[in-house]
Amino acid sequence: MNERNAMKRTPPEGERERAVLCAVNRAATPVWLVEDHLDELAALADTAGADVIERITQPRMKPDPATYIGRGKVSEVTQRAKNQGANLVIFDDDLTPVQVRNLEQRMKLKVIDRSGLILDIFARRARTREAKVQVELAQLEYYYPRLTRMWTHLRGQQGGIGFRGPGETQLEVDRRIVQRRITQLKKQLAKIGRQRETRRRSRRRIPTAALVGYTNVGKSTLLNALSGTDSAFVENRLFATLDPKWRRVESENGRAFIAIDTVGFIRKLPHHLVASFRSTLEEASTADLIVHVADLSHPLYDDQIEQTRRVIEQLEFEDKPTLLVFNKIDRVQQTSFIEKARQNHPDSLFLSATTGLRVWELQKRLERILFAAEKSLALEVSPDQLRLLQEYGDSVELRNKQWHEGVIRLTLAGQGADLANALRTIDHPIPQGL
Ligand SMILES: Nc1nc2c(ncn2[C@@H]2O[C@H](COP(=O)(O)OP(=O)(O)OP(=O)(O)O)[C@@H](O)[C@H]2O)c(=O)[nH]1
Ligand SMILES: [Mg+2]
């Protein structure tokens, strides 16, 4: 039988694939943690469009450099996969190019690792041009070292999970073509980044909070709850959001701030992805405040918080003021559970984005932090000056307007620099200390 016929048929797009999950259980790692990693891998597989048929772990001191799991185990996994009609084996750790090649050769099944799976999901989810370019770049950088002749030969006949991409070129055989494409994509990204920067500058300076956190914790749901809309896409699958969305949030006193939703993080997020999504995430880095959202109903929420902090460090915006918010408290029955989290994280807030429980508390806290440096100034202006101020934008607020013998008395409120700019537009002297 030649290799082509020996390979399992890949189901057409839209049809679900059948996967076996495989992990090495290192001596130092507790079993429940390995199981949790596998739960997450299963959720990733489900999001990518595969039904998980079986989960297999092997206790080992460290992975086998040639085949990751032991060689005897390779035959066992192959046999079990084939008996169950699986076409795909997904490994929980990243495999080296050599391991992928050896495994595919021996198993005659499609082999992918956690990073490959995450990249595949991103590829399917990318909608905007920027997201597509970012994902294609990350895929090419990830697959580039894996472009061996054998690998290409086997993969050339494959499709489905692990082989989808916005660019359709990720399987180019010729490394030089891949290298050229990488350079091209980097240039495109730099250009898109510059355009984004110009757009951001032209947006008048409004206080901004960015929602960041592990995937599926409810960031988009919270954005909707804060802004009173349901326009951000919410789904109980991983990586529902790839492009940062921003919404205006009106406060009771008529001031507005902006909340930005961002792509979720996950343990072992491929570093190529973090690198290529850097410009998207830079939207968050320009925020005045980072709202770190966590899912209190998740058994490993502390671990997820830690993982998120690591990515924030990688992105180098750990110095920004951060507010930790525990979401999904409606799913937590015992109050002792909430108390424990409150003791460990004293300055955090507890709420439910879906039921709206205590979302107002977050809103108040955000207003307090974001408008803390706000100053106000009593003024008398002419109708023409009033018109100019009204056109000036959202960064200053006009309060208590009163007509008085042809002039308007009002209070101008906002950040010092914004007040000064607003006064400049109406040629008004700028008081000292602004
Ligand atoms: N019970 C409950 N479910 C919630 C709450 N907030 C969000 N969810 C659910 O959690 C799932 C994920 O919500 P999203 O808002 O898409 O989460 P996200 O953090 O934006 O996820 P990604 O964009 O994938 O990173 C959805 O099924 C939501 O309905 C909550 O307060 N309580
Ligand atoms: Mg989201």
DSSP string, 209-223: EEEEEBTTSSHHHHH
Return the amino acid letter for 82: K
CA atoms within 13 A on the CB side of 214: 25
Nearest to 209 by CA among 285, 263, 280: 285
Nearest to 182 by CA among 169, 173, 194, 195: 169
Confidence at residue 58, expressed as pLDDT on a 0 to 100 scale: 92
Q: Which ligand neighbours the alpha carbon of 219 most closely?
A: 1
Q: Which ligand neighbours the alpha carbon of 235 most closely?
A: 1
Confidence at residue 348, expressed as pLDDT on a 0 to 100 scale: 95
Q: Which ligand neighbours the alpha carbon of 236 most closely?
A: 1
Q: 117: burial class by Cβ within 10 Å (0-12, 13-18, 19+)?
A: buried
Q: How far is the CA of 241 from the centre of ligand 2 (A)?
A: 4
Residue 372 corresponds to which tokens in the numbers above? 């803390």
Nearest CA to ligand 1 atom 32: 328
Confidence at residue 33, expressed as pLDDT on a 0 to 100 scale: 84
Q: How far is the CA of 266 from the centre of ligand 1 (A)?
A: 15
Q: How far is the CA of 290 from the centre of ligand 2 (A)?
A: 16
Atom of ligand 1 nearest to the CA of 223: 15
Instruction: Evaluate whether 3-126 and 374-425 have a shared fold.
Output: no
Q: How far is the CA of 46 from the centre of ligand 2 (A)?
A: 17
Q: Which ligand neighbours the alpha carbon of 118 most closely?
A: 1
Query: Is the torsion defined by CA of 45, 46, 50, 52 positive or negative?
Result: positive
H or E element, residue 403: strand 396-404
What backbone torsions phi and psi does residue 299 show, to the nearest 5 degrees? Answer: -60, -30
Q: What whole-number distance in Å separates Cα of residue 377 and Cα of residue 298?
A: 47
Atom of ligand 1 nearest to the CA of 213: 19
Q: How far is the CA of 139 from the centre of ligand 1 (A)?
A: 27
Residues 6+ apart with CB under 8 A from 359: 222, 225, 226, 351, 352, 353
What CATH number has the domain spanning 374-425? 3.30.70
Confidence at residue 152, expressed as pLDDT on a 0 to 100 scale: 46
Which residues contact ligand 1 via a Cβ below 6 A?
A: 215-221, 234-236, 238-241, 264, 327-328, 330-331, 352-354
Integer-rounded Cα radius of gyration of the chain: 26
Atom of ligand 1 nearest to the CA of 357: 31
Q: How far is the CA of 11 from the centre of ligand 2 (A)?
A: 29
Q: Which ligand neighbours the alpha carbon of 212 most closely?
A: 1
Confidence at residue 401, expressed as pLDDT on a 0 to 100 scale: 87
Architecture in CATH of 3-126: 3-Layer(aba) Sandwich (3.40)
Atom of ligand 1 nearest to the CA of 261: 20
Confidence at residue 293, expressed as pLDDT on a 0 to 100 scale: 98
Domain assignments of the chain as residue spans, ordered by start: 3-126, 203-370, 374-425
Residue 99 corresponds to which tokens in the numbers above? 């391991």
Q: 362 with 338: CB under 8 angstroms? A: no
Q: What residues are paired with 414 via a beta bridge?
A: 375, 396
Nearest CA to ligand 1 atom 10: 218
Nearest CA to ligand 1 atom 21: 216
pLDDT by residue, tens only, the chain of 434 residues: 333 333 334 455 568 999 999 999 887 778 888 888 899 999 999 999 999 999 999 999 888 999 999 999 999 999 999 999 999 999 999 898 889 889 999 999 999 999 889 888 888 888 888 888 888 898 888 877 776 543 444 444 455 666 655 444 444 456 777 788 899 999 998 898 888 777 766 655 678 899 999 999 999 999 999 998 777 777 777 777 777 778 889 887 777 888 998 888 888 777 777 776 776 677 777 788 999 999 999 999 999 999 999 888 887 777 788 999 999 999 999 999 999 999 999 999 999 999 999 999 999 999 888 887 778 889 999 999 999 988 876 678 888 889 888 899 998 888 777 888 889 989 998 888 77
What is the distance of C-alpha 81 from the center of its chain?
Answer: 32
Mutate to test the pocket of ligand 1, among 226, 238, 330, 354 (most ligand atoms within 8 A of CB): 354
Atom of ligand 1 nearest to the CA of 352: 31
Q: 367 with 404: CB under 8 angstroms? A: no
Q: What whole-number distance in Å separates Cα of residue 299 and Cα of residue 148?
A: 41
Q: 311 with 285: CB under 8 angstroms? A: no
Q: How far is the CA of 314 from the centre of ligand 2 (A)?
A: 21
Q: 349 with 371: CB under 8 angstroms? A: no
Confidence at residue 168, expressed as pLDDT on a 0 to 100 scale: 41
Confidence at residue 203, expressed as pLDDT on a 0 to 100 scale: 59
Q: Does domain 203-370 have CATH number 3.90.700.10?
A: no
Q: How far is the CA of 218 from the centre of ligand 1 (A)?
A: 3
Q: 48 with 117: CB under 8 angstroms? A: yes
Nearest CA to ligand 1 atom 17: 218
Q: What whole-number distance in Å separates Cα of residue 249 and Cα of residue 256?
A: 6
Atom of ligand 1 nearest to the CA of 234: 16
Residue 422 corresponds to which tokens in the numbers above? 């607003």
Q: How far is the CA of 322 from the centre of ligand 1 (A)?
A: 20
